[in-house]
Structure formats: C-alpha cells, structure tokens
Amino acid sequence: MKNIYFKSKSSKRGEDFKRILKCGNVVIERIVSSKVDPKKVYVQKQDEWVLVLKGRASLNLLGKVFKLGKGDFIFIPAKKRHRVLKVQKGTTWLAIHIY
C-alpha cells in the first residue's frame, strides 16, 4: 500500500511529477505545483483528466478561465492549448493521462 502524499514536495518553481501507475494506455501521476509561468502553453498528445487534491489553481483552456479548488476536476482534450495561470504553492493534483 502507498499514499498519494508520500514524499510530496513543492519545488520553488514549476511542478514536481510522480508517476503512480502505468497500465495499458493510461498513466496516473501526482503533480505538486509551485510558482508557474502563466505564459507557458501546454499542448499534449494525450487526453488528461485532473483533480485538485489540495490547494487552488486557475487555468485557461480553449480561451476560458477555470478556477479550481480542492475536489474540482477538469478534462483537457488531447492537442488543446492550455495554460496554468496561477497556483497556490503546494497545490497537489491527481492527473490521469489517456493515450
């Protein structure tokens, strides 16, 4: 048995990624965020479903701003531009990537 918060750390800048599980075309990871560059654009080849486990964040997806807090989740379709605009230091996400 393991714990999602085990060795959870927040770097001074960017994000810390920890793979939890890979099974077939699915990858589950924990992301711990700190200060982000709101100008950085992400375009991923896979679909991604993210859940905020703790903290707060806002992101821009398809020109719309979403404010997320503990328990909030969002689906990010493959190849869609998105940006993380702001995060509370230590914000912890559960991300499920579907390839």
pLDDT tens by residue, 50-86 = 999 999 999 999 999 999 999 999 999 999 999 999 9
Give the CATH number, domain containing residue 62: 2.60.120.10
Per-residue pLDDT, 52: 98
82 lies in some domain: yes
Identify whether 72 is part of a domain. yes
Domain count, the chain: 1
Model pLDDT, residue 30: 96
Q: Phi and psi dihedrals of 19, rounded to 5?
A: -70, 130
Q: Give the pLDDT score at 8.
A: 73
* Residue of 99, 98, 95 lying closest to 20 (CA atoms): 95
pLDDT exceeds 90 at position 14: no
80 within domain boundaries: yes
Q: CB–CB of 99/46 below 8 Å?
A: yes
68 located within any domain = yes
- Residue at 45 is within a domain: yes
The DSSP output letter for 92 is E
59 in a structural domain: yes
| 7 has a pLDDT exceeding 90 | no
Read off the pLDDT band of 10 (50, 70, 90).
Answer: low
Give the largest CA-CA distance in the chain: 40
CA nearest to 85, candidates 65, 62, 70, 55:
65
Asked whether residue 76 is domain-assigned, the answer is yes
Domain limits at 66? Answer: 28-98
